[in-house]
Structure 1
Amino acid sequence: MFRLFERLVNPYPDTPPVRPPKTLLPFLWAGTQGVRKWMLLIVILTAAIGAFEALLFAMLGEVVDWLSNVTPSQLWTQHADTLLLLGGLLLASPLLIALHALLKYQGLQGNLPMRLRWNFHRLMLDQSMRFYQDEFAGRIATKVMQTALAVRDAWMAVIDIMVFVMIYFVTMVAIVGQLDRWLLLPFLGWLVLYIATLCFFVPRMGKVGQRQADARSLMTGRITDAYANITTVKLFSHAQREAHYARSAMQEFMASVHAQMRLASGFDIINHILSIALIGSTAGATLYLWTQGQVGVGAVAAATAMALRLNGISHWIMWEMAGLFEHIGTVQDGMATLSRGNSVVDRPDAKPLLVTQGDIHFEHVTFNYGGKRPVIEALQLNIRPGEKVGLVGRSGAGKSTIVNLLLRFYDIEQGRILIDGQDISGVTQDSLRAQIGMVTQDTSLLHRSVNDNIRYGRPDASDEQVVHAAQRAEAHDFVLELSDPQGRKGYDAHVGERGVKLSGGQRQRIAIARVMLKDAPILLLDEATSALDSEVETAIQASLYRLMEGKTVIAIAHRLSTIAAMDRLIVLDKGQVVEEGNHQQLLELGGIYARLWAHQSGGFLGEEADEEAVEEAPLPA
C-alpha cells in the first residue's frame, strides 16, 4: 500500500529542468510541475474533511436534542436511520483520512522536495563559472535544500489554511445560522477581529521570515567556508577569528529570531483573548436563547463545541500562517539564486564540436572580467595542429584568461575563438570541454575513491585502463598503500574533501592520471607539475611528453625550465602577444622573456621583481 503511493511521483525526472520564473507566484506554480493532479486530489479530500468535521458537530447536536426529548426505548425506533447514517459516516471517515494521508505523506511530502532539489541541483551544475565566483558553495547548497522544502510547505499550508479552514468555517456558519441567526453574531464578530489581527501580524512575520532565511543561508555559508578552508584556518591559527566571523552571522540570525518570537507572543496573547471572547459570547447567547425557548439543548452543545474547536483551530491557523510567510520568505530568498540565468549558454542551434586536427585560432579577441580595463585586448594567436605552445608572462598578463576563454567558462566581448574552423560560441559547451584535457595547479579531487576520481576522465573506462593511467602518472605505487577510516584500501580508498588526505604531489598525480585516461586531442597544462618534487617531476615529465604526442598543447608555467622545450613560447604582457619563438630565439632577442629567464631563482619566475632592476640585469651566457 505504502509503496503504491510512494511511486506516484518520480523524484528524479529525466526531463531537463527549466529555469524557474523570477516572481513568487509563478515560481511556486512552476514548482508543482508533475504533481498538480495529485495536489488537486488532496485539495478535494481536504475540503471533504473540513465539511465532515463541521457536519459532525451539527449531527452530535441533534443527538443531544434527541436524548433530551426521547425515551431510551424509543431512540432507535424513531431515529434508527439517522443513527446508522452517522455511524456509517464515522466508519467511513478513516478511509477518507487514510487516502488523504497516503497522498500527502507518501505521495508528496518526500517526493516533491526531492524532485525540486534534483531539478535545482541540475540547474546549479549548469551555471557558469562567474556565478560561482560570487557565491559561497555552502550558501548555494543551503538555498537548494531549504527552498525545495519551503515550496512544498508553502503549498501544503495554503491547502490546509485556505481549503480546510474556508470549507470548515462556511459549513459551520451555515449550521449555526440554521440553529438561530443571532448565533452568527459572535462567530462573525470573531472572524472580523481575527482577520484584522492576521492582517497586522502575518505580513510582519513574513518580512522577518525572509530576513531569517537570508541570515540562515549566510550563517551556513560562513561556517561551511571555514570547514572548506580548514587547512588555512589551522595554518594561521585563526580558529577564534573564524568563530567570531561566524558569530556575527549568527547574531544577525538571532536578531530575526527574536523579532519573530515577539510577534508570535503578541499574536498568541491576542488570539487567546479573541478565543475566550468567542467561547463566552457563544455560550452566553445560546444559553439565553435556550432560556427563551428558541433553541434546544443540542444547539447549546453544538454551538459551544464549535466555538471550542475554533479556539484550537485559531492557534493552528496562526502558526500555519506564520509558517506560510516564513516559507514564502525562504522561497523569495532562494528564488533570486535559483532563477538566475546563465551568463554562458549554448545557442539553440549549437552543434557538437568535431576536432579533426586541433588547430586553435584567437581572432581579435577582447575580454574583461567586468572591469574597465580589458584583460585581453585584440588578441591574435594561432596554434597549429599538434603544436606545443608555452604561455609566459607575469601575473595578470592574461595567461589563465586565455585558457578560461578557450574552455568557454566566459563569453568574449569581441572577436572569435576557432577550433578547426568552428567558432566555439556556436558549439555545445559539453562537447567543447569533452575535447579538452586540463591539469591545473590547484588540483581539486572529489570526496570519493581514487578509482572514481581517475575514472572521472572517462566514466566507461575499465579497471585495467584506470590502473594503466595511474601507472603512467607515477601514482600506482602510492595508491596501493592508501587506506581510509572505513577500511577501504588502494583504489577504493576515499581521498577526503578536495583530496585533503593526499599530499599536493599525490593529488597532482591523480589529476594527471585522470587527464591521461580522458585522452582528449587538446591538452591544457596550468602549472601541471608545480606541486611535485624534482624527482617525481622528472618521472612524470616523460609521461606528460608521451601524453602530448599527437595533441595540441597549451602550457602555463612560472618555472620556465618546464616549458623551455616547447615548440613555441608566447610571451604575454597586458593581454597582448609581445614576443614569440622558441627558447633560444627569445633569449637571443633580449626582451621580456630573456629578462624573466635571468631572474629565475631555482627555476621559478620572479614575479615581483622590480622592473628597473630587471632591465639592468645581464642576460645569461
Structure 2
Amino acid sequence: MLRFFEQLIDPYPTDEPTPPPKGFMAFLWACTKGTRPYIAGMTLMTALIGAFEALLFSMLGSIVDWLSKVEPAQLWTQSRGQLLLLVGIVLVSPLAVLLQTLFKHQTLAGNFPMRLRWNFHRLMLGQSMGFYQDEFAGRVATKVMQSALSVRDTVMIVMDILVFVVIYFLTMTAVVGSFDAWLLLPFLGWVVAYALAVWYFVPRLAERARTQADARSLMTGRITDAYTNIATVKLFSHGRREADYARSAMRDFMTTVHGQMRLVSGFEVVNHTLSMLLILSTAGATLWLWTQGQVGVGAVAAATAMALRLNGISHWMMWEVAALFEHVGTVQDGINTLSRPHTVVDTPGAQPLAVTRGEVVFDKVSFAYGGVRPVVNDLSLRIRPGEKIGLVGRSGAGKSTIVNLLLRFYDVEQGRILIDGQDITQATQDSLRAQIGMVTQDTSLLHRSVRDNILYGRPNASDEQMEIAARRAEAHEFIQSLSDPKGRVAYDAHVGERGVKLSGGQRQRIAIARVMLKDAPILLLDEATSALDSEVEAAIQASLYRLMEGKTVVAIAHRLSTIAAMDRLIVLDQGRIVEEGSHASLLAQGGLYARLWAHQSGGFLGEEA
C-alpha cells in the first residue's frame, strides 16, 4: 500500500517545462501541476479530521452531563445508542488519518519537491549563456533547491494546517453556540484580536522573509564562488579576503534574522496574552451561566477544554504562519530567477539541422550584447565547405563573439547565419551544436570520471572508440597513471571539480579527445593547444590536422603553428573584417595584420603598440 501511494506522482515527467508565470498565486498554481488531485485528497481528509476533533469536545460535554444525571448502574441502559455512536466515530477516525498521512507523506512530501527540482533544473539548463554571466552558479542552485521545498511547504501549510484550523474553529463555534449563544462572545472576541495581531505581524514577517531569502542566496553564492575558484584564492593568498567578503554577506543575512526574530517574539507574547484572556473569559462565562442554570456541567467542561485546546493550536498556528511567510518570501525571491523567460529558444516548428557540406555564411550580422556599441558590425563572411579559416585581431575585435553567435549562445540582433543554406535560428539548438565540435582555451571538465568526460562527445560510443580518440589526442598514456582517493584508476578515475586534479595540458588533451570522438563536421578551435608544452603540442599537432581533415574549421588564431594550418585568415577590427587572405598576402599588404605580426612575441600575435 505504501508503494502504491509513493508511485502516484512521477517526480521526473518527460514533457518539457515552460517558465512559470511571475505572479505569486499563478506561480504556485503552475507548480502544482500533476499533483493537484492528491493535494485535494489530503485537504479533504484534513477537513474531516478537524471537524472530528472539535466534535470530540461536544461528545465530552455530553458524557459529563450523563454522568451528572444518570446513576452509574443505568448509564449503559439509558445512553447505549449515544455511547455506541461515540465508539463508532472514534474507531472510524483512524481511517481518515491514514488516508491523510498517506497522501501527505507518501505521495506528496518527497515527490512534490523533487518534481519541482527536476523541472526547475531543466529550466535553468535551458537558460542562455548571458543568464549565467550575470548569476552566481551557487546562487542559482540555491534558488532551485530552496524554492522547491518552499513551494511544497507553502502548499502544505495552506491546504493542510490552515484548513484544519479553519474547519476546527467553525465546528467548535457551532458546538459552543449549541450550549448557549453568549458563549460565542469570548471566542469571537479572540478571533478578532488574533486576526488583528496577524494583520500587523504577518506582512512584516513576509517582508523580512523575502529579504532574508535573497540575503541567504547571496551568502551561499559568495561562499560557493570562493570554493569554485579555490586555486585563484590560494594563488593570491586571499583566504582572509574571501572570508571577509563572505562575512559581509553573513552580516547582512544576520540583520534580517534579528529583525525577523524580534517580530516573532512580539507575536509570541501577544498570542499568549490573547490565549490566557480567552481561557479566563470562557471559564468565567460558562460558570456564570451554570450558576444561572442556563447550561449544564458538560457545557462548562467542554467549553473550557476547547479554550485550552485553542491555546495550544494558536501557538502552533503562530509558528506555522511565521513559517508560511518565510516560505512565501523564499518563493517570491525564487520567482525572479525561475520564471525568467529563456532568451534563446527554439522557434516554433524548428527542424533538426542537416549538415551535408559544412558551408557557413554570416550575412550582414550585427551584435552588441544588448548595448549600443556593436561588437560585431555588419559582418558578411562565407566559409566554403571544408575550408579552414583563422580569425585574427586585437582583444575585443569580435573573434569570440563570432564563435558564440555561430553556436547560437546568443541570437544575432541583425542579419542571419546560415549553415548549408539553413538559417540556424530555424534549427533546433541541440541539432545545431551536435554538428559543431569545439576546443576552447580555458577547458573545464565535469567532476566525473575520465571516461564520462570523453564520452560526453558521443555518449553511445564504445570503449574502443573512446580509447582510440584518447590515443589520437596523446592522452591515453597519462590516463593510465591516474587514480583518485576512492581507489578508481585510469579511465574510471574522477578528475575533480572543473578537472582541478589534472594539469592544464592534461585537461586540454582530454577535451581534444572528447571533440575527436564527437567527430562533428564543423570544428571550432579557440587556441586549442595553448595549454600544452612545446613537446606535447608537437606530438598532437598532427592529430589536430587529421581531425581538421574534411571539416569546416574556424580557429581563433594567436599561435603561429595554428595560423600556418589555415587556408585563409580573416583580420577583424572593431567587429568588422578589415583584411583577409593568406599569411603571405596579408604581410605583403602592410596593413593591420602586418603590424600585429611585427609585434609578435614568443610565437604569439601580440597587441599593436
Note if contact 1:564-1:582 (Cα within 8 Å) is conserved in structure 2.
no
TM-score (norm 1): 0.97
Distance 2:562 2:348 in 1: 42
Q: Which residue of 2 aligns with 1:174?
A: 174
- Match for residue 583 of structure 2? 583
Tell me how far 1:65 sits from its aligned partner: 1.0
Is 1:133 aligned to 2:97, yes or no? no
> Equivalent residue of 2:361, what SS?
strand
Question: Partners of 2:85 and 2:557 in 1: how far apart?
Answer: 87
* Residue correspondence of structure 1 range 97-108 to structure 2 within 5 A: 97-108=97-108
Mark the runs of 5 or more structure 1 residues left unpaired by the alignment.
Answer: 611-621
**How far apart are the structure 1 equivalents of 2:274 and 2:463?**
72
Measured against aligned partners, the alpha-carbon deviations of 1:109-157 in whole angstroms (never above 9, x if no partner) come to: 1100000000000011011111111100000000100111111111111
What CA distance in whole angstroms lies between the structure 1 residues aligned with 2:227 and 2:81?
Answer: 70
Equivalent position of 2:529 in the other structure: 529
Q: CA deviation at 1:296?
A: 1.1
CA distance in 1, matches of 2:472, 2:83: 85
Q: Deviations over 1:209-263 (max 9, x none)?
A: 1001111111111100000000000000111111111111111111111011000
Q: Could you tell me which amino acid in structure 1 is paired with residue 245 of structure 2? A: Y
Corresponding residue number in structure 2 for 1:456: 456
Counterpart residue type for residue 298 of structure 1: G
Q: CA deviation at 1:378?
A: 0.8
The C-alpha deviation readout for 1:16-49, integer Å capped at 9, x for no partner, is 1121011100000001000111111111101000
Look up the match of 1:616: none
Q: Which whole-Å CA distance do the structure 2 matches of 1:414 and 1:59 have between them?
A: 77
CA distance in 2, matches of 1:588, 1:15: 59
Partner amino acid, structure 2, of 1:141: A
**1:613 match:** none
Q: Look up the SS of the partner of 1:563 in the other structure.
A: helix
- Aligned residue for 2:476? 476
User: Hey, what's the Cα distance between the residues in 1 that align with 2:64 and 2:339?
Assistant: 58
2:483–2:493 CA contact under 8 A, matched in 1:
yes
Report deviation, 1:93.
Answer: 1.9
- 1:436/1:524 contact within 8 Å kept: yes
Amino acid aligned to 2:460: D
1: CA distance between counterparts of 2:589 and 2:472?
37
Q: What SS class does the counterpart of residue 392 from structure 1 fall into? A: strand
What is the correspondence of 1:364-403 to structure 2 with a 5 Å cutoff?
Answer: 364-403=364-403
Q: Which residue identity lines up with residue 111 of structure 1 in the other structure? A: N
The residue type paired with residue 93 of structure 1 is: S
* Equivalent position of 1:335 in the other structure: 335
Matched AA of 1:188: L
2:408 aligns with: 408
Structure 2: which 5+ runs fail to align? none
Moved more, 584-593 or 385-394: 584-593
Q: Distance in 1 between matches of 2:565 and 2:420?
A: 25
Aligned partners of 1:93, 1:521: CA distance in 2, in Å? 68
Is this contact kept in 1: 2:525–2:555, CA < 8 A? yes
Within 2, Cα distance between the matches of 1:377 and 1:564? 27
Q: What is the alpha-carbon distance in structure 2 between the residues aligned to residue 153 and residue 43 of structure 1?
A: 14
Match of 2:259 in 1: 259
Question: What's the secondary structure of 2:564's corresponding residue?
Answer: coil
Partners of 1:382 and 1:556 lie apart in 2 by 16
Give the aligned partner of residue 272 of structure 2. Answer: 272
For residues 85 and 488 of structure 1, the distance between their equivalents in structure 2, rounded to whole angstroms, comes to: 67
- Look up the match of 1:238: 238
Q: Give matches, 1:77-96, under 5 Å.
A: 77-96=77-96
User: In structure 2, the residue corresponding to 1:93 is in which secondary structure?
Assistant: helix
How many residue pairs are counted as aligned between the two chains? 609
CA drift of 1:444 comes to 1.4
Give CA-to-partner distance per residue, 1:276-295, whole Å, 9 cap, x none: 00001101111111111111
1:341-384 deviation digits (Å, cap 9, x = unpaired): 11111110211111110011111111111222101111111110
Amino acid of the structure 1 residue aligned with 2:533: D
- Corresponding position: 1:425 with 2:425: yes
Q: Is structure 2 residue 16 aligned with structure 1 residue 16? A: yes
- Aligned residue number for residue 614 of structure 1: none
Distance in 2 of aligned mates of 1:340 and 1:560 = 44
Please list, as runs of the form range in 1=range in 2, the aligned pairs for 1:299-338 lying within 5 A after superposition. 299-338=299-338
Residues 209, 325 of structure 1: 8 Å contact kept: yes
Residue 550 of structure 2 corresponds to 550
User: Aligned with 2:417: secondary structure?
Assistant: strand
2:76 matched to which residue of 1?
76
Letter in 2 for 1:315: H
Amino acid at match of 2:507: R
Q: Is the 8 A contact 1:5 1:102 kept in 2?
A: yes
Residues 88-167 of structure 1: matches in 2 within 5 Å?
A: 88-167=88-167
Alpha-carbon distance, 1:564 to partner: 2.1
- Structure 1 residue 161 displacement after superposition: 4.0
1:434-458 deviation digits (Å, cap 9, x = unpaired): 1000000110110000000000000
Pair 1:539 & 2:522 matched: no
% same residue: 74
CA distance in 2, matches of 1:173, 1:35: 33
Contact 1:390 1:568 in 2 (8 A): yes
Distance 1:333 1:106 in 2: 28
Tell whether the 8 Å contact from 1:565 to 1:583 is kept in structure 2 after alignment: no
Residue equivalent to 2:37: 37
User: How far, CA to CA, are the matches of 1:205 and 1:447 in structure 2?
Assistant: 40
Q: Is the 8 A contact 2:42 2:160 kept in 1?
A: no
Q: Which amino acid aligns with 2:559?
A: R
Distance 2:434 2:574 in 1: 30
Deviates more, 1:596-605 or 1:405-414: 596-605
Report the Cα distance in structure 2 between the residues aligned to 1:231 and 1:49, rounded to whole angstroms.
Answer: 57
